[in-house]
Amino acid sequence: MSVRVRFCPSPTGYLHVGGVRTALFNWLFARHAGGVAVLRIEDTDLTREADGAIEQIQRSLDWLGLEFDESPAKGGPNSPYLQSERLAFYRETALDLVERGLAYRCYQTADELAAARTVARETDDPASATRLHRDLATAEVRAFEAEGRPAVIRLRVPLEGAVTITDLVRGEITWENRLLGDHVICRADGVATYQLANPLDDVLHGMTHVIRGEDLLPSTPRQVLLLEALGHRYPITAHLPMILGPDRKRLSKRHGAASVEEFRDAGYVPESVINYLALVGWSFDDATEIMTVDELVERFSIERVNPAPGVFDHQKLAWMNGVHLRGLAPARYEQALRGYLITSLSALATEPRLGEAVALVQEKVATLGEFEGFAGFLFRGVADDPEALAKVAATERVAEILAACADAIASLEPFTVEGVELALRNVCEELGVKPRVGLLPPRVAVSGRTVSPGLFESIVFLGREETIARLVALSRAIV
RNA sequence: GGCGCGUUCGUCUAGGGGCCUAGGACGCUGGCCUCUCACGCCGGUAACACGGGUUCGAAUCCCGUACGCGCUACCA
């Protein structure tokens, strides 16, 4: 049977790092196996739904290039992919289980439940609190109904036996049924809970594997039991390790950037986000780290997933982003850069010569976010940096150097990178100053800063007139 | 409290009984290269949680302890 997996976020907010990793591993697993990846939205709890969350999740996946074969947006042969569109069916299923005695109505109020729980907690049967209405007499049921008490539906979990799974990441795991308790599969308002909707949809969507976070591991036995009651077999599972913050707690917004969009807005490129995330919890071998998406697809295997949780390392992601940025084909770099500048509402976004500037910065910056500060002078005036100004002003014989540079540039022929380099080095030699000293004034004159892309390339990019104008402007500024 | 999972350098990891005086990468750091920055190159730093077993031999297998995390909702 061909592989079918799903990524099923609930639309409670943006797509966070942990979610992306789950989406990515599912996607890699499917693509590697030539199977199908499904995107399903688990929106059974409308009260928790955030406006626009579905669109935002889809947008994030699109930006990353993780294309799902079946999804709410795309549709597919197993519609719907939105749980809110299948509520009636979940309810019927729950009712059917009640009919068959495999589930039952529980009329406990929240207070009663809470009280029972605290008591049961101290006993050797802590799950008993969930079973209080498991065997209600008909008269009692009638009384509750007459009272108009709302009821939830609980699954009648066997008191004996155990559930054992063989997780692809963790191996064999067993839970005793009696410790599980009778969990709620349908709320008092008639809407199914995750414990019913999720496994049922997995069957309806023909899932062969369930690849999800370790936080969901404890709900596996409940879902296995539910599907058994329904006469289905639970898919093969693979529970991925959690992604932690530096404090070893689950990664969240308080640890800094936690959503895909934040990384995009910080100038990260999908190539590196994917590569980095693939490596938290998985590795190919003892040395390979930098990989393209295609290579990841080819090399990914769930067996090599590490069961231990991992700390998200911003620094390593930043480094990796630089590596990918440097390796990007110029056209792709320009595309990514323009996309970045557009979303960050930069005026540079429409510059026609952006592509030419790529060659000057590609080796220099680790994120697209540095572009504007680093290379903005190529498109507008020099940067305003008093410190740089002070530093040139303190340089010996600045005026002389600037004048000589201007002269050299003025008469230079041909006006090429090599030509400019030769000319400026000659200026240094004639004035008897080392290049690292002599090239500082023209660098500040041209860029406004002490740190810049290659000086000679920058000068050629700006052109003869503009360069001379800037050299002159600086000499005037420092006298 | 109960149940479950986990534990190799600060971090991500390789390792699945002898190849390990534990390898790679990020970070930090010394140096080289160099028009600044960055890249690159050479070097350094730093780990098998602890205690018992099993075995000729354990980072690797088993048990226990400790610690961490997750779950313990009419949230997913």
What beta strand segments (E) does A59-158 contain?
Answer: 103-106, 152-155
The pTM of the full predicted model, rounded to 2 decimals, is 0.95
The predicted pLDDT at position A46 comes to 85
Residue nearest to nucleotide B6 (CA to C1'): A308
Q: Quote the tokens at residue A362.
A: 């590609």
pLDDT at position A404? 96
How far, in Å, is the CA of A191 from the C1' of nucleotide B69?
Answer: 31
Token match 């305003």: residue?
Answer: A384
The radius of gyration computed from the CA coordinates of chain A, to the nearest angstrom, equals 31
DSSP-derived secondary structure for A140-176: HHHHHHHHT---EEEE---SS-EEEEEETTTEEEEEE
The CA–C1' separation of A174 and B64, in angstroms, is 20
Q: Strand B: which bases are under 7 Å from protein Cβ? A: 1-8, 10-16, 23-27, 34-40, 68-76
CA–CA distance, A391 with A256 (Å, rounded to integer): 35
Is residue A15 within 8 Å of A23, Cβ to Cβ? yes
| Distance from residue A26's CA to nucleotide B20's C1', rounded to whole Å | 35
Strands A209-213 and A236-240: parallel
Instruction: Please state the φ and ψ torsions of residue A199, each to the nearest 5 degrees.
Output: -65, -35
Predicted local confidence at residue A380, as pLDDT: 93
Closest by CA position to A416, among listed A478, A454, A376, A461: A461
Give the nucleotide at minimum CA-to-C1' distance from A189: B74
Residue by residue, pLDDT tens for chain A (479 residues) are 799 999 999 999 999 999 999 999 999 999 999 999 999 999 999 888 999 999 999 999 999 999 999 999 999 999 999 999 999 999 999 999 999 999 999 999 999 999 999 999 888 899 999 999 999 999 999 999 999 999 999 999 999 999 999 999 999 999 999 999 999 999 999 999 999 999 999 999 999 999 999 999 999 999 999 999 999 999 999 999 999 999 898 887 778 778 999 999 999 999 999 999 999 999 999 999 999 999 999 999 999 999 999 999 999 999 999 999 999 999 999 999 999 999 999 999 999 999 999 999 999 999 999 999 999 999 999 999 999 999 999 888 999 999 999 999 999 989 999 999 999 999 999 999 999 999 999 999 999 999 999 999 999 999 999 999 999 999 999 87
| A304 CA vs B55 C1’ separation (Å) | 28
Residue A67 three-state SS: coil
Of the candidates A280, A222, A17, the one whose C-alpha atom is nearest the C-alpha of residue A103 is A222
| Of A253, A316, A364, A391, catalytic | A253
What 8-state DSSP symbol labels residue A367? S
| Residue A193 DSSP class | P
Task: Report ipTM for this prediction.
Answer: 0.95
Which pLDDT score is estimated for A111?
Answer: 92
Nearest DNA or RNA nucleotide to A360 (CA to C1') = B38
Residue at shortest CA–C1' distance from B2: A126
Residue lying closest to nucleotide B37, CA to C1':
A451
Buried b (16+ CB within 10 A) or exposed e, A394-407: ebeebeebbbbbbe
User: Which two structure tokens, joined as six digits, stand for A242?
Assistant: 């959690």
Q: Nearest nucleotide to A421 by CA–C1' distance?
A: B35
Told to judge if A364 belongs to the known catalytic residues of this protein, a careful annotator would answer: no
